[in-house]
Amino acid sequence: MGAHDLALLIVGVGDVSKRILLGRKLRSSQLGHTLLRKRIALPVFASDALSSVAYAPDEIFIMLAVAGGTTAYFYSLPVALAVALVMFTVVASYRQNVRAYPSGGGDYEVATVNLGQNAGLTVAGALLIDYVLTVAVSISAAVDNAGAVLGFVNEREVIYACVLVVLIAAINLRGAGQPGWWFAVPTYGFMIGIFGMAAWGLGRELLGDLPEVESADLAVTPVAGYEGTITNIALVFLLARAFSSGCAALTGVEAISTGVPAFQKPKSRNAATTLLLLAAISVAMMLSIVALARHMGLQYVDPLQPERLTNADGSPLPADHEQHTVLAQIARGVFDHFDLGFYFVIATTVVILVLAANTAFNGFPVLGSILAKDGYLPRQLGSRGDRLAYSNGILILAAMAGGLILAFDAQVTRLIQLYIVGVFVSFTLGQLGMIRHWTRELRTETDPRERLRMMRSRAINTFGFGMTAVVLVVVLVTKFLAGAWIAILAMGTFFMIMKSIRRHYDSVGEELAIEADDQLLPTRVHAILLVSKVHKPTMRALAYAKASRPNVLEAVMVSTDPVERDRIIDEWDRRGIDVPLKVLDSPYREVIRPIVEYAKAIRAAQPRGVVAVFIPEYVVGRWWEQLLHNQTALRLKTRLLFTPGVMMTSVPYQLRSSQIGEERALRQDEQVRAGRTYVDWSEGIDKELD
C-alpha cells in the first residue's frame, strides 16, 4: 500500500471518529479575539506561575533533607526568601520588557532583535523545552497531589498522568473557546484555599492549637557524607542546591510578557500591573507554605529514597507507607477537624496544575507557529487544523511530554532537575537583550525625562541580568549531573535542528528563484498515454491528451502476458483508434521500470523537450475500493516524480460509488457553515506577532 492509499484509508476510516472527538470544522473567519481585564488576565496567564508553589516548597525540603531533618530545615525560610528576591527581581525586569515590547514576542523577540538570530534561537529552544517540561512537571505534580485523596492513584501515577495529557491534548485539538472563568474560578479558588489554610494555621498557632503534620514523628537519615556536623563548603553547596530547586517557583512568569496583546488598553500598563500582582501573590503563598511546614514539624525526603524516612527510633517504615506532598500534609494537619477544607485545597491544587499544563498547550503551538513562519520549524506547525487550533504543535507537545513522563516515571523531583535550566537561559538572554535595547534607544533620545526613564529601566534590567545569570550558574553547577545536562543537550539539539531547517528552506528558496530561461517554452512535447485496458477511462484520457495538442502522441502498454497483449492490440485495431500503440516487452513481468526507462530515453534524445505522461485513474467513494484500484498508477507517479523533464497528468474517471465521496464532502461543508464562533486567548498574541 502506498502513502497516498494509506492516507485515504485513514481519512475514510477515521472521519466519523474525528468529527466525534474534535467536533465540526470551523471556518477561518470564525477565529475570534477577546481582550482581557486585569482580574481575568491574572488567572488566565498566572496559573502556570502560581501552580509552581504546589511543588517548589517540596523541592526545597527534599534538598535540605540531604543533611538530615529538623536542623537543616531551619534554612528553608531563608532559602525561600532568596527565591522571593529573585522572583521580584525577574518581575521588575519583565515589567520593563512588556513596556518596550508590547507585541507579545517575549524573550524570543527581545533576544532576536537585540542579540541576533543565534540568541533568539537559543531562547526559542529553551522555551520549547520549558513548555514540554511544564506539561510533564505540572501533570506529574497534579497526580502526586491527587494521591493524597484518591488512594488508587498511588503506584499508578504514570498511567493517570499519561491519560491526563491525552485528555488535555484532545480538549485543545477541539479548539473550543476557553472563557476566562475557566481559569478564573479554579485559580482564585486555589488562592482562597492556600491563603485560607495559611490564615487558619496562623490562627491556630496564635491559640497554641496548631497540630503537627503526619510525618512529624518520623526521622530523616542524612545522605552519606552529611552525617554529623557538615563543613561550611558542604553547607553552602547544600543551600545552593535547595535554592536552585526552589527557583522552580519562577516558572511561568514569562507567560504574561507573551500575552500583552490580549490585555485591554493600556496593554503594557495592565500587563505590568498583573506581573506585580503575580509576584506578590506567588511569594506570599510560597512563604506561607514553607513557614507552616517548619512549624508543623514536616519531615520530607526524596520519593526515590523512601528508605531514608524512618520511625523516630530508626526502625524502617512499612513497605506500603505513602509520603504525601508537603501541601497535602499541611492541609490535612491544619484542617484536621474540617475535612472539607482539606479536600478543597487538594482539589483546587490539582485543577490549577492541570491548567498550568493547559497553558503550555496554548503557548507551545503558538511559538511553534511563529518559528515555522520564520522558517525555523516545519511549515506544517504554522497551519491551523479543522478546529482552528495548531493541531500539529499540540500533538508534538503531547507526545514529548508523555515521553518524559514515561521516561522519568512521573517523578516531579527527577523532572525538576531538567526544568529550570531553560527558564533561566531565557531570563538571562532576555535581560541582556533589554540592556542593549535601552542602550540603543539612549543614543537617539534627547528628551531628559525619557532618558531618565530609560536609564532607570536599563538599571533594572542590568540588575535582573546579573541576578538571573548568577542563578543560572548556580543551577548549572548544582544540577548538571542530576539531570540538567539532558535539558542542555535538548536545547542544543533544538538549536541545531532549527538552524538546519532554516538552511534547507533558504536553499530551496534560492533553487526555486526564477531565472531568465525559466519562461522559455519546451522545443517539443512528447505525450504518452498509458494503456492497461481498452475501456472508458482510457478513451477519456486519450481525448484529453489529444486536446492538449502535443507534438507527438502515442499510446504505450507494458506486455507481461502475451495473450492479454494480443487481445488489447486486436481491440485497439478493431476500434480504429488513430493513435499508434507501442508495446514495451517486460520478460520479468515488471510494469513500472519499462515505462520509466522509456520516458528517460525520450527525454535523453530531446534534452530541451518535455515528456507528458497521461495516466487514467478511477475515482471511488469508499476507502476499501481505493485499495482495489490505482495501485500501479500510484507507484508509477512516485517513480516519475524523480525523473527530470517528465510531467504527469492524472485523468480521473468517476465510478458510481464516487457519489458517496461527493455527498460526504457536501455534508462537511454544511457542518462548516453551521459552525460556531471560536475564541482563542492566544490569537491576540498570534495576530500581533504575525
Highest-pLDDT range among 61-75, 233-247, 425-439: 425-439
- Is 8 part of any domain? no
Q: What is the pLDDT of residue 285?
A: 92
Do 166 and 398 form a contact (C-beta atoms < 8 A)? yes
Co-location of 219 and 312 in the same domain: yes
Q: Are residues 99 and 205 in the same domain?
A: yes
More confident residue, 386 or 467: 467
Contacts of 350 (CB under 8 A, 6+ apart): 142, 145, 146
- Is the same domain home to 494 and 540? no
382 versus 191: the higher-pLDDT residue is 191
Residue 400 clears pLDDT 90, i.e. is over it: yes
Task: Give the list of residues 6+ apart from residue 234 with CB closer than 8 angstroms, or none.
Answer: 67, 225, 226
Confidence of residue 363 (pLDDT cuts 50, 70, 90): confident
Q: How confident is the model at residue 156, as a pLDDT?
A: 87
Alpha carbon separation from 653 to 175, 540, 648, 656, 661 (Å, rounded): 37, 8, 16, 10, 14
| Residue 409 buriedness (CB in 10 A; 0-12 / 13-18 / 19+) | middle
Most confident of 30-39, 239-248, 424-433: 424-433
Where residue 331 falls among pLDDT bands split at 50, 70, 90? very high
- Rounded CA gap, 427 and 435, in Å? 13
Which helix (H) or strand (E) segment holds residue 130: the answer is: helix 117-146
pLDDT of residue 227: 67
- Residue 16 located in a structural domain: no
Q: What is the CATH number of the domain that holds 597?
A: 3.40.50
Q: Phi/psi zone of residue 620: left (φ > 0), alpha (ψ -120 to 50 degrees), beta?
A: beta
Q: What is the mean pLDDT of the chain?
A: 82
Structural domains of the chain, count: 2
pLDDT over threshold 60, residue 488: yes
Same-domain status, 281 and 350: yes
Distance CA 143, CA 155 (A): 11
Express each pLDDT in 14-42 by its tens digit: 444 444 445 555 444 444 444 556 667 67
pLDDT in tens, 568-614: 999 999 989 999 999 998 887 888 899 999 999 999 888 888 999 99
Q: Which amino acid is it at 523?
A: T
Q: Which residues pair with 678 in a beta bridge?
A: 31
Asked if residue 509 has pLDDT above 60, the reply is yes
Q: Which of 450, 471, 502 is the last residue of a domain?
A: 502
What mean pLDDT comes out for the span 356-366? 82
* pLDDT at residue 686 in the model: 37
**Cβ(303)–Cβ(410) under 8 Å?**
no
The reply to whether 684 falls in a domain is: no
- Nearest Cα residue to 528 out of 380, 647, 448, 620: 647
CB burial readout 601-621, b (16+ within 10 A) else e: ebbeebeebbbbbbbbbbbbb
Is residue 680's pLDDT more than 70?
no
Specify the pLDDT at position 228.
64
Query: Averaged over 366-373, what is the pLDDT?
Result: 85
pLDDT of residue 674: 53
Q: Does residue 3 register a pLDDT over 60?
A: no
User: Is the same domain home to 446 and 548?
Assistant: no
CA–CA dist 25, 175 (Å, integer): 10
Please say if the pLDDT value at position 373 is more than 80.
Answer: yes
Same domain, 529 and 496: no
Instruction: Supply the CATH number for residue 329's domain.
Output: 1.20.1740.10
Is 655 a residue whose pLDDT tops 70? yes
Is 182 in the same domain as 254? yes
List, in sequence order, every beta strand (DSSP E) within 245-356.
Answer: 309-311
Q: What is the pLDDT of residue 263?
A: 73
Assess if residue 514 is contained within a domain. no
Residue % of the chain over a pLDDT of 70 = 83
| Per-residue pLDDT band at 630 (split at 50, 70, 90) | low
Given the C-alpha cell 547544600, which residue does it identify? 238
CA dist., res. 212 & res. 539, Å (int): 89
Q: What is the pLDDT of residue 13?
A: 44
The crossing angle, in degrees rounded to 10, of helices 485-512 and 412-444 is 50
pLDDT of residue 229: 67
Classify residue 19: in a domain, yes or no: no
* Nearest-angstrom CA–CA distance, 135 and 391: 17
d(CA 600, CA 127): 49
pLDDT value of residue 340: 93
Residue 636 lies in a domain: yes
Q: Are 79 and 246 in contact (CB under 8 A)?
A: yes
C-alpha cell at 62: 527534599
Q: Pick from 502, 537, 572: which residue ends a domain?
A: 502
Asked if 450 and 597 sit in the same domain, the reply is: no
- Domain that includes residue 291, residue range: 32-502
For range 232-258, the mean pLDDT: 81
pLDDT tens digits, residue range 441-454? 998 888 889 899 99
Give residues with Cβ within 8 angstroms of 579, minimum separation 6: 529, 542, 546, 553, 554, 555
What pLDDT score was predicted for residue 677? 39
Q: Which parts of 433-592 are beta strand (E)?
A: 525-530, 552-559, 581-585
What is the tens place of the pLDDT at every residue in 286-323?
Answer: 999 999 998 998 998 888 888 888 888 888 888 878 88
* Sign of torsion over alpha carbons 258, 161, 149, 145: negative
In this structure, the answer to whether residues 475 and 618 fall within a common structural domain is no
pLDDT at 255: 73
pLDDT at 84: 92
Residue 269 has pLDDT above 50, yes or no: yes
Strand-strand pairing, 525-530 and 552-559? parallel
Q: Show the DSSP H helices in 374-483 as ranges.
A: 391-407, 412-444, 448-479
> Is residue 237 one of the residues assigned to a domain?
yes
- 536, 613: one domain: yes
Name, of 246-255, 263-272, 327-336, 631-640, the range with top average pLDDT: 327-336
Same domain, 494 and 538: no
Residue at which a domain ends, from 438, 471, 502? 502
322 burial level (CB within 10 Å; 0-12, 13-18, 19+): middle
pLDDT band at 689 (very low <50, low <70, confident <90, very high): very low
In a domain, 361, yes or no: yes
For residues 271 and 383, membership in a common domain is answered with yes
Q: What percent of the chain has pLDDT over 90?
A: 28
